[in-house]
Amino acid sequence: MEALRGYAWHFAVALAASIASTLLVRTVARRYGWVAKPRPDRWHRKPTALYGGVGIFGGFLAAYLLRRPSDLEGDALLVVCSTGMFALGLIDDRFQLKPYAKLVGQVACATLFTVFGLRLHWLPNPLLDQGLTLFWLVGVTNALNLLDNIDGAAGGIAAIAGLYLVYFCHLAGRYPSALMAAAFSGAVIGFLVFNFNPASIFMGDCGSLFLGFFLGGLSLVNTQIGTRRNVLAVLAIPVLLLMIPILDTTLVTITRRYHGRSVSQGGRDHTSHRLVRLGLSERGATLTLWVLAASAGGLAVLVKNIPQAVAVAAMAAFGFGLLFLMVFLGRVKVYEQVESESEAGGRALLPTLADFSYKRRIFETLNDLALIVFCYYGAFLLRFNQAVLATFLDQFVVSLPLVVVSQLSVFLAFGVYRGVWRYTGMDDLLTIVRAVVVAVVVSAALVYAIHGRALVYPRVVLLDGLLLILGIPGSRVSFRVLRSWFGRRRPADGRRVVIYGAGDGGELLLRELQNNQDLGMVPVGFVDDDPQKRGRVIHGVPVMGSSEDVDSILASVHAQQVLLSTSKVAPARWERVERACSELGLEARRMRIAFE
C-alpha cells in the first residue's frame, strides 16, 4: 500500500507540474512566435505552439527532484542521459541540426548509458550485447520521434508504455524505477491535455527524443528480472511495450526507401496518416493507435505470467494480426505521383513481396507456411496439458517438416494460390476448406508412413484441421474485412444518397460507393418495395421503407440524391420517386452497367 501511495504521489505531482509548465510554455511560444506553421508535408492546419517537450520534462523533473529516491542505483544515470537527449532535441528544435549531428548526439547519450553495465542482456558476448543495446536505445528514440506526426499519438503511446512499466518495475521489486515511471506517465498525460486533437502545442524533438530514450532505457530494467523458465518474457517485454513505434518506423522506412524518399524527411505516410486516409477521423486514428499499444502491453503482462509454450502461441497470434494490419496499411496510397507505380494504386508495405504475391504468390506461400507451423503447434498445445507438453515437443519437431511440405503441396495442387485476396468469395473459401481437409489427411498419412503410429495423434490431427480451417480462409478474407470496416467509418463528407432497390444490384452499388471514395457519395439508406426487407441492414445501411414512403424517407435522412440500382421496377413506382425528388429539388439517377 505504501508503494501505491508513492506511485500516486509522483504521478499527481508530475501531472500538475506538467499542466502548469506546458501552459506557461504555450503562452511564451505564442508571444514570441515560436510556432509551427502549416506545411504541405505536415498534418496541422493552423500555427501551433512549439517546445511542448519542455512541459513534459519540467513535470517529470519536478516530481523526481521533490521526492528523489535514495537507492536509485543506475536509474540516476537514466535521468542524466535522458536530460542530455532532451537538451539535444531542444537544440534541434531551435537551430535545426543536421541529421548526422543529431545521430552523433544520440549515440553519445546511449553510449554513456551502457558503459556502466546497463544492457539488454540478450546476447552472451558483452561487446555484442552493448552494441545491440546502443541500437535499441537509438532506434526506440527515433521511433518515438517519427511517431510524433499526429495530435496525441506519440504522447498517448508513451504514457501507456510508462504505466505498464510501473507494473513491471513494481513486480521486479524496482520501486525507485516504478516511481520514475509513474512520474513520467503523469508528466506525459499532463501534456496530452493540450496535445490531444485539436492540439494547441507540439512537443517537438525535445519532447519526442526524451520520451523515446527514457522508455527505451527504463524498459532495460526488465531484462534483469527474467527466469530461465520464462526467458521469453525477458526478450518480449521491451519489444511489446514499444511495438507500435517500432512497426510505424519499419513501415515508414520501407515505403520511403522504396519510393526514393529520405527516411528523415517529413511526410503524411505514417500509420496514423494511412488510418485517416482510410476514413478514420484524426481522433479515431490516434485512439486506434492507443488501443493497439494498450493491447501490446496487455500481451506483455500475459507473457510475463504464463508458461513459455503458451506465450509463444499468444505472441504468434498477435504478431499475425499486426502483420496483416501493417501490410493492409502499406497498400494505402499516400504518395501523389511516384513514377508509374503510384499511378497503379500504391505499393504494399513490403513492395517486393507484394509484387511476388500477385505474380508468383510468394507472399501467400510464406503466409501459409507460417500458419501451418502455428496451427500445428497450437494443436499440440491444446491437446497436451502443460505438465506433459514438453515431452511431446520432440515429436512436434520431428514431424513438422513432413507436415509443412505435404500441406503446402496439397494447397498448390488444389489451386489455393490462384485467387486474389481482396475479392475472395464463397467459391474460393470452399476450395480452401476442401484443400485443408485433404492436406491434413495427407500430412497425417505421410507422418504415419515414415515414422509410424507413435507420431500420429488423432486429436492433434483434428485440432490442426480446425485451426487451419479458421486460419487459412481467415487470412484470405482479412483484407476484404478491413477494407469494408474502414470504408463504413469514412467521414460522411460526400453527397448523401438513397439507393432504390435492396437486391443484388443495390448491394453491388452500395459496395462500390463505400469503397470508391472518389465518387464522393455517402449511402444513407435503402428504399425497396418488398415489405419483408424493411428494417433489414445491408453492410451497415438500413432499408427504410417503400417507394410510397419516399417523401418522408428523403426528408428524414437529408438526402441529396436517389440512385436506382435495378431495372426490375414498375414504371409507376419509379415515376413516384422521380416526382418526389423533383418536388424536393433532388437528382434521381439510374445505375447502368454497359458492355462496349
User: Do 22 and 135 sit in the same domain of this protein?
Assistant: yes
CB 580 within 8 A of CB 553: no
User: Do 461 and 419 sit in the same domain of this protein?
Assistant: yes
Q: Report helix, strand or coil for 124.
A: coil
User: Do 180 and 80 sit in the same domain of this protein?
Assistant: yes
Task: List the one residue out of 258, 255, 221, 259 whose CA is nearest residue 241.
Answer: 221
Q: How far is CA 572 from CA 567, 575, 579, in A?
A: 13, 5, 10
Per-residue confidence (pLDDT) for residue 266, from 0 to 100 = 66
> How much of the chain, in percent, has pLDDT values that exceed 90?
39
Neighbour-count burial of 340, counting CB atoms closer than 10 A to its CB (0-12 exposed, 13-18 middle, 19+ buried):
exposed
Per-residue confidence (pLDDT) for residue 232, from 0 to 100 = 59
- Confidence at 442, pLDDT banded by 50, 70, 90: very high
Residue range 19-31: average pLDDT? 95
Q: Is residue 345 part of a domain?
A: no
- Confidence at 348, pLDDT banded by 50, 70, 90: very low
- In this model, does residue 176 exceed pLDDT 70? yes
Per-residue confidence (pLDDT) for residue 346, from 0 to 100 = 40
Least confident of 118-122, 290-294, 428-432, 567-571: 118-122
- In this model, does residue 347 exceed pLDDT 80? no
Residue range 211-233: average pLDDT? 66
Residue range 5-16: average pLDDT? 95
User: Do 479 and 501 sit in the same domain of this protein?
Assistant: no
CB 35 within 8 A of CB 29: yes
Q: Can you name the residues that pair with 564 across neighbouring β-strands?
A: 500, 590
Per-residue confidence (pLDDT) for residue 194, from 0 to 100 = 96
- Confidence at 43, pLDDT banded by 50, 70, 90: low
Per-residue confidence (pLDDT) for residue 494, from 0 to 100 = 75
Q: Is residue 468 part of a domain?
A: yes
Q: Is residue 467 part of a domain?
A: yes
Per-residue confidence (pLDDT) for residue 139, from 0 to 100 = 92
Least confident of 223-227, 488-492, 499-503: 223-227
| End position of a domain, from candidates 457, 488, 519 | 488
| End position of a domain, from candidates 488, 517, 534 | 488
Per-residue confidence (pLDDT) for residue 39, from 0 to 100 = 67
Instruction: Name the domain count of the chain.
Output: 3
pLDDT digit string (tens) for 378-390? Answer: 999 888 876 666 6
pLDDT digit string (tens) for 496-511? Answer: 899 999 888 888 898 8
| Summary mean pLDDT of the chain | 84
Q: What is the CATH number of the domain that holds 519?
A: 3.40.50.720
User: Do 411 and 365 sit in the same domain of this protein?
Assistant: yes
pLDDT digit string (tens) for 136-151? Answer: 999 999 999 989 888 9
- Confidence at 349, pLDDT banded by 50, 70, 90: very low
Residue range 145-174: average pLDDT? 91
Per-residue confidence (pLDDT) for residue 357, from 0 to 100 = 43
Per-residue confidence (pLDDT) for residue 366, from 0 to 100 = 84
User: Do 484 and 500 sit in the same domain of this protein?
Assistant: no
> How much of the chain, in percent, has pLDDT values that exceed 70?
88
Q: Is residue 354 part of a domain?
A: no
Q: Is residue 335 part of a domain?
A: no
User: Do 322 and 412 sit in the same domain of this protein?
Assistant: no
Per-residue confidence (pLDDT) for residue 257, from 0 to 100 = 78
User: Do 312 and 446 sit in the same domain of this protein?
Assistant: no
Task: Answer with the residue of higher pLDDT: 39 or 401.
Answer: 401
Q: Is residue 224 part of a domain?
A: yes
Compute CA 142 distance to the chain's CA centroid, rounded to the nearest angstrom: 18
Task: Report how far residue 590's alpha carbon sits from residue 578's, in angstroms, rounded to the nearest whole number.
Answer: 11
Q: Is residue 340 part of a domain?
A: no
pLDDT digit string (tens) for 92-127? Answer: 999 989 988 999 999 999 999 888 767 777 778 888
User: Do 500 and 484 sit in the same domain of this protein?
Assistant: no
The C-alpha cell at 82 is 535522458
CB 34 within 8 A of CB 51: yes
Per-residue confidence (pLDDT) for residue 443, from 0 to 100 = 95
- Confidence at 233, pLDDT banded by 50, 70, 90: low
List % helix, strand, coil for the chain (3-state, nearest 5).
Answer: 70, 5, 25
User: Do 411 and 556 sit in the same domain of this protein?
Assistant: no
pTM attached to this predicted model: 0.79
- Confidence at 255, pLDDT banded by 50, 70, 90: confident
- Confidence at 72, pLDDT banded by 50, 70, 90: low
| End position of a domain, from candidates 468, 488, 508 | 488
User: Do 506 and 424 sit in the same domain of this protein?
Assistant: no
Question: Strands 541-545 and 561-564, how do they pair?
Answer: unpaired
- HSE-CB at 361 with a 13 A cutoff on CA atoms is 15
- In this model, does residue 337 exceed pLDDT 60? no
pLDDT digit string (tens) for 415-441? Answer: 888 877 777 778 888 999 999 999 999
Task: Answer with the residue of higher pLDDT: 12 or 516.
Answer: 12
Residue 222 DSSP one-character state: G
DSSP assignment of 285-329, as one string? Answer: HHHHHHHHHHHHHHHHHHHHHS-HHHHHHHHHHHHHHHHHHHHHH
Highest mean pLDDT: which range of 328-337, 339-348, 509-518: 509-518
User: Do 443 and 321 sit in the same domain of this protein?
Assistant: no
CB 298 within 8 A of CB 167: no
- In this model, does residue 408 exceed pLDDT 50? yes
- In this model, does residue 413 exceed pLDDT 70? yes
Task: Report how far residue 218's alpha carbon sits from residue 185's, in angstroms, rounded to the nearest whole number.
Answer: 12
Per-residue confidence (pLDDT) for residue 261, from 0 to 100 = 75
Q: How far is CA 430 from CA 425, 434, 436, in A?
A: 9, 6, 10
Give me the residue label for grid cell 513490403. 350
Q: Is residue 339 part of a domain?
A: no
**What range defines the domain where residue 510 resides?**
495-590
